[in-house]
Structure formats: structure tokens, C-alpha cells
């Protein structure tokens, strides 16, 4: 071992959690931290400009560009799964909405064995991470690295949506991240001065001069090195070995973290041997428990030329780009989904089970594979608490081969019912009088669809439903005695030493909302646990 290839902590993955971890652990000048990111540094105007989102999602430059297996309940379609492959991870290519989820989501984690992760336990870490334009209070922070702003869009369709939803009977919600979540309103966003606030920009850019922090990009990890059930370092895909004195921490997300565990011989013995990998530690639930938010997009043609189809034309986009450079209000400085809400398909539910995002444009193909060619708008309608469970597993021992991703969408009957009812509620909102000045014709579901016919509506949903980019759960956190657990509540991989997973893959159950802010919260809490464990280890007579 050479000194330049030995660090106290090796963090694998420079996404939302990894950037936060690197910043927090390197606050201690006595430790050395290495952050490894498989992608590039991510210095691009397409990342910085919120309005260029559609140019990021379909391209591979900053994106793993995964595809799922054929989905039985979605007409055997394979679905595109973009995940960030650059510093900042998916926070560099997401829609920049700042949502934490419902308080009871985290209390449910505790019921599932994640002791110490209830809402009152994790709220301080949301506050710690945040620098909110709202200022500091019982729910928001004003001194954290992550800049969060309130609604800035000038597009009148946002106000039409909120008015229409209130005409339907939903209450206005001023702050989705405060005491109550239910209702409709305007989203907080990780945008500051019209610039994307990725985790890399928030946590890494201010500390690049720290001598105890090393950041390496274009450095993909092939496996974790184990010795006597202890993680001692990592091997890169080019064969380079790097050693860790304290811990190896996987922060690759719900796909890459279980993939690396399995490539390292950690997982279900039969699955590993079938892929040609020798099992070094039998942990059968690695890669299981995959959950994601499935979404349908209720769309309408617009009478008025006020949607994204206008701003994507060069003679309109150029003046907006000039405004953006001058740090003046610009369409390009806004998220494409500024307003939305959380509603219930059944009033008896304790938590909203549907999230809505109003989007200021429609296109022929999802994920930005085609630009809008006519004016329109739509309501992304997402079922928040799916019962369907899928998996992520390696196909071979080749670290460059993408794993099998099977979210098993709509395999649970309850999910099919919930998404169908969510669709009907969304259409009801879009048909309210507030949208009359804008509504030209409904695009999806087609006007010919009998909305009262369950089978007819289900058939349309199967044709178009897509991910809304929130995969979690594949390295489930829980009690060590629970065979479905992969990590314990301190995020240690069960049965191994000096190896943790810190990212959205540890969520035992998908939260009711967007997952970027919760991923950062997980890393904030993990950093404190890691620091405390190191301190206790040093003070121990055997440390």
C-alpha cells in the first residue's frame, strides 16, 4: 500500500449523498477523504440552466441512460431510466424540486425496523442542509449549503392550475415541507439566481481547496475489496486498487450500490454464482425491494402560445439566454414544473397518495426524446406509495455490463387501482373553468376514452405510464434480524465491517415525494453517525 493510494474514507459515487458526505467528513482535518465519481466533472451550461433540462435527460454525456426489462403490466414495454453520471449525480439532471416527503413516511421507516429514523430524528438534518429563501424556522434552515428558493415562474398556467384545483375542492398549501403536505400550490426549488443548485455546487464547489479531500472523476469502481469480512478498499474498472483505513461508503444510488455489492461477492449466493461471481458474503436481499414512482401525463393542447414550444424556438430562446447570463428573471431560469400538489384518491387515507406536477409543455415522446412542436400543457400524475416491488441484479461479473432493472410496475393490483383513480382526479382538475381560456383539446387520455370504464382507462395507462425518476430501496435499511435488511440503522452492511451504504437505496419504503432532498438528508445524518463511530472507536481500548 502506498500513501497516495490510501485514504481514511473512500466514497463511491459523487451524487446527492456522496457530495454531501465528502463535504461533511472532510470537515475533520485529521481524516483523508476520497470521492470517486464514474462520470465527468459536470461543468456545463446545460446543467446550470434549469430550462435546458430537456437537453440533459435523453443524452448519455451526464447520464447512465439505463433501460428496464420488459414490463408485463405495461404492454411489455422497456422503460428509459435516466440517472445522473456526473458530479452531483441525479441532482445535476433533475427537475430541481425541493420536496421532503410526508412526516409519517419516516415514522413508518421506524416501524419497519429503521430505529432512529423517525420524522423528529431526521428533521434536524433537513434543516441543517438547507439555505432557504424562506428563512430559518421550525421547518427550514438558512445556514446550510443547499440553496432553496420559492416559486419564480411567470407563466400564468401555474395560477390557472392552482385555481382549478381549488375549484375542485382542494386546499391551497403554502409550504409542502412544513406542518402539512396535503393541498396544491407552488414548489420550492433547488435554484438560486436562476442557476441549478446541484449537490456538487452546494457541497463541493465551496471546498475544493481542502487538502484532505481528493475528488476523482471518470473513475468507475468495479468492486469492493474484502479481507476477513472487512472492507479494505476498492478496485477500479482499470484494475487500480485504492485502500481505505476506516471505511468504504457506497453512494451510487438504487442501481449502482447493489450492483457494486454483487460484483464484490456480496448478495444472494445463487444469484451471484449464476452471474459468475464467487459469493464472499451471503446477503440475500441485496438488490431486492426496488420501488419507484410510476406516472401518467394528462395532456392538453393550448389555445394560447405561452408554453415551452415558444421558448424552444431560437428567436425566443436567445433573448431569454441573455437575460439568464445577466442574472435577470428568465424563462430559462425556472423549473419546467413549478406548481403541483399532494392529494388523496380516498379521503380516508392518512396521507396523500398522489403527487401532481404541472408541466408547461407537451412532446411527442417522453424524457425529452422529442421537443414540443405545438403548444400544450399537462399534469404529471404520480402514485406515491406503490405496493409493487422489483429488483436490480447483475447479469455477469463484468462491471461495465448494465444490470437487469425490473421495477415490476403495477404488479400489485392496488397500484393499478390507485393510478387509475389518480388519473381521473387529474382530469377533473384540468377540466375546471380556470383552464377554459387555455384548453383546446385533450391529448391524453384520448377524447375517445370512456373514463368510467376501468378496463379502457387501464389500457391507456399501460401504453404511456413512465417513471418519474425516484428509484429506491435496493439496499434496504432495517433490523439486523430481518432477512429483508441489507444495512442496519447505522447504514452498516450487515455482517461486514467498515462498509456502509449511504444513498436512496437504503430507504425501506419509498417516501411520498421527490427523492433528492431525502437523499441529502440521509447523507447528513450518516456523516454524523460516521464521525461519532470513529470517535468511539478511537476512545475504545481496542481502537
Q: What is the DSSP string of 90-157?
A: GGGTS--B-----HHHHHHHHHTT-TT-SHHHHHHHHHHHEEETT-SSSS--BSSSEEEB------HH
pLDDT confidence of residue 167: 98
Closest by CA position to 28, among listed 169, 211, 227: 211
List 281, 357, 393, 470, catalytic entry? 470
Cell numbers 430501496 correspond to: 473
pLDDT confidence of residue 542: 59
> Which CATH number is 156's domain given?
3.30.410.40
In a domain, 437, yes or no: yes
Closest by CA position to 534, among listed 16, 27, 129, 4: 27
pTM, entire model: 0.97
Cβ-based neighbours of 506, under 8 Å, separated by 6 or more:
475, 476, 477, 486, 487, 491, 522
Kindly give the confidence (pLDDT) of every residue in the chain, 543 residues in length, as a single tens digit, with 9 standing for 90 and above. 455 699 999 999 999 999 999 999 999 999 999 999 999 999 999 999 999 988 889 989 999 999 999 999 999 999 999 999 999 999 999 999 999 999 999 999 999 999 999 999 999 999 999 999 999 999 999 999 999 999 999 999 999 999 999 999 999 999 999 999 999 999 999 999 999 999 999 999 999 999 999 999 999 999 999 999 999 999 999 999 999 999 999 999 999 999 999 999 999 999 999 999 999 999 999 999 999 999 999 999 999 998 877 777 778 788 989 999 999 989 899 999 999 999 999 999 999 999 999 999 887 788 888 877 789 999 999 999 999 999 999 999 999 999 999 999 999 999 999 999 999 999 999 999 999 999 999 999 999 999 999 999 999 999 999 999 999 999 999 999 999 999 999 999 999 999 999 999 999 999 999 999 999 999 999 999 999 999 888 876 655
* Rounded Cα gap, residues 486 and 343, in angstroms: 33
Q: DSSP strand E in 314-438: where?
A: 339-343, 354-359, 376-383, 391-393, 404-406
In a domain, 4, yes or no: no
Cβ-based neighbours of 373, under 8 Å, separated by 6 or more:
309, 363, 364
How distant, in Å, are the alpha carbons of 9, 256, 343, 423 from that of 449?
A: 56, 40, 24, 12
In a domain, 111, yes or no: no
Which grid cell is 40? 465527468
pLDDT confidence of residue 407: 98
Which grid cell is 82? 435516466
- Note whether 189 and 357 are within 8 A (CB): no
In a domain, 54, yes or no: no
In a domain, 368, yes or no: yes
In a domain, 35, yes or no: no
Q: DSSP strand E in 180-286: where?
A: 183-186, 191-192, 195-196, 213-216, 221-227, 230-236, 241-250, 266-267, 281-282
Residue 413 annotated among the catalytic residues of the structure: no
Cell numbers 420524522 correspond to: 119
How distant, in Å, are the alpha carbons of 122, 153, 269, 335 from that of 331?
A: 35, 7, 52, 9
pLDDT confidence of residue 316: 78
pLDDT confidence of residue 529: 98
In a domain, 129, yes or no: no
Quote the domain boundaries for residue 318: 152-186+294-383+411-464
In a domain, 474, yes or no: no
Helix (H, G, I), strand (E, B) or coil at 325: helix
pLDDT confidence of residue 541: 64
Cis peptide before 445 (omega within 30 of 0): yes
Q: How many domains does the chain fold into?
A: 1
Amino acid at each position: 500500500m502506498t500513501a497516495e493510494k490510501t485514504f481514511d474514507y473512500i466514497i463511491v459515487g459523487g451524487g446527492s449523498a456522496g457530495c454531501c458526505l465528502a463535504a461533511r467528513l472532510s470537515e475533520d482535518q485529521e481524516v483523508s477523504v476520497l470521492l470517486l465519481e464514474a462520470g465527468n466533472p459536470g461543468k456545463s451550461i446545460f446543467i446550470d440552466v434549469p430550462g435546458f433540462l430537456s437537453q440533459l435527460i435523453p443524452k448519455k454525456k451526464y447520464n447512465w441512460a439505463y433501460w428496464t426489462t420488459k414490463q408485463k403490466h405495461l404492454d411489455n414495454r422497456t422503460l428509459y431510466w435516466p440517472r445522473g453520471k456526473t458530479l452531483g449525480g441525479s441532482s445535476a439532471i433533475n427537475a430541481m424540486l425541493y420536496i421532503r416527503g410526508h412526516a409519517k413516511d419516516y415514522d413508518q421507516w421506524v416501524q419497519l425496523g429503521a430505529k432512529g429514523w423517525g420524522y423528529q430524528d431526521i428533521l434536524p438534518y433537513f434543516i441543517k442542509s438547507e439555505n432557504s429563501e424562506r428563512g430559518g424556522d421550525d421547518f427550514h434552515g438558512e445556514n446550510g449549503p443547499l440553496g432553496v428558493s420559492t416559486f419564480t415562474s411567470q407563466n400564468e398556467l401555474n395560477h390557472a392550475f392552482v385555481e382549478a384545483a381549488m375549484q375542485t375542492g382542494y386546499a391551497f398549501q403554502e409550504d409542502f415541507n412544513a406542518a402539512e403536505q396535503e393541498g396544491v400550490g407552488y414548489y420550492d426549488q433547488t435554484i438560486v439566481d436562476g442557476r441549478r443548485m446541484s449537490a456538487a455546487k452546494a457541497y463541493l464547489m465551496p471546498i475544493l481547496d481542502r487538502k484532505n479531500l481528493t475528488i476523482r472523476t471518470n473513475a468507475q469502481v468495479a468492486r469492493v475489496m474484502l479481507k476477513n469480512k472487512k472492507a479494505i478498499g476498492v478496485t477500479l474498472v482499470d484494475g487500480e486498487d485504492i485502500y481505505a483505513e476506516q471505511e468504504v461508503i457506497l453512494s451510487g444510488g438504487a442501481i449502482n450500490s447493489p450492483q457494486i455489492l454483487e460484483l464484490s461477492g456480496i448478495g444472494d449466493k445463487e444469484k451471484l454464482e449464476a452471474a459468475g461471481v464467487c459469493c464472499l458474503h451471503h446477503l440475500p436481499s441485496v438488490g431486492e425491494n426496488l420501488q419507484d414512482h410510476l406516472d401518467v401525463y394528462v395532456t392538453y393542447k393550448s389555445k394560447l402560445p405561452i408554453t415551452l414550444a415558444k421558448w424552444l424556438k431560437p428567436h425566443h430562446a436567445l433573448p431569454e439566454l441573455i437575460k439568464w447570463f445577466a442574472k435577470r428573471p428568465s424563462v430559462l431560469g425556472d423549473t419546467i414544473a413549478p406548481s403541483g400538489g399532494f392529494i388523496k384518491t380516498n379521503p380516508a387515507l392518512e396521507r396523500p397518495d398522489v403527487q401532481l406536477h404541472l408541466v408547461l409543455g407537451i412532446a411527442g415522446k417522453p424524457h425529452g426524446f422529442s421537443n414540443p412542436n405545438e403548444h400544450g400543457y399537462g399534469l404529471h400524475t404520480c402514485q406515491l406509495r406503490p405496493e409493487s416491488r422489483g429488483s436490480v441484479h447483475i447479469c455477469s461479473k463484468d462491471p461495465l455490463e448494465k444490470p437487469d432493472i425490473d421495477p415490476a410496475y403495477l404488479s400489485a393490483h392496488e397500484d393499478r387501482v390507485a393510478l387509475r383513480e389518480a388519473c381521473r382526479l387529474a382530469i377533473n382538475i384540468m377540466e375546471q373553468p380556470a383552464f377554459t381560456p387555455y384548453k383546446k383539446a385533450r391529448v391524453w387520455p384520448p377524447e375517445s376514452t370512456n373514463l368510467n370504464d376501468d378496463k379502457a382507462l387501464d389500457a391507456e395507462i399501460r401504453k404511456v405510464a413512465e417513471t418519474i425518476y425516484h428509484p429506491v430501496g435496493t439496499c434496504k435499511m432495517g433490523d439486523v434480524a430481518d432477512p429483508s435488511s441489507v444495512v442496519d440503522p447505522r447504514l452498516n452492511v450487515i455482517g461486514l465491517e467498515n462498509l456502509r451504504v449511504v444513498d436512496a437505496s437504503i430507504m425501506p419504503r419509498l417516501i411520498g415525494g421527490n427523492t433528492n432532498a431525502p437523499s441529502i438528508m440521509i447523507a447528513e445524518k450518516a456523516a454524523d453517525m460516521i464521525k461519532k463511530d470513529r470517535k468511539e472507536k478511537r476512545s475504545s481500548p481496542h481502537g
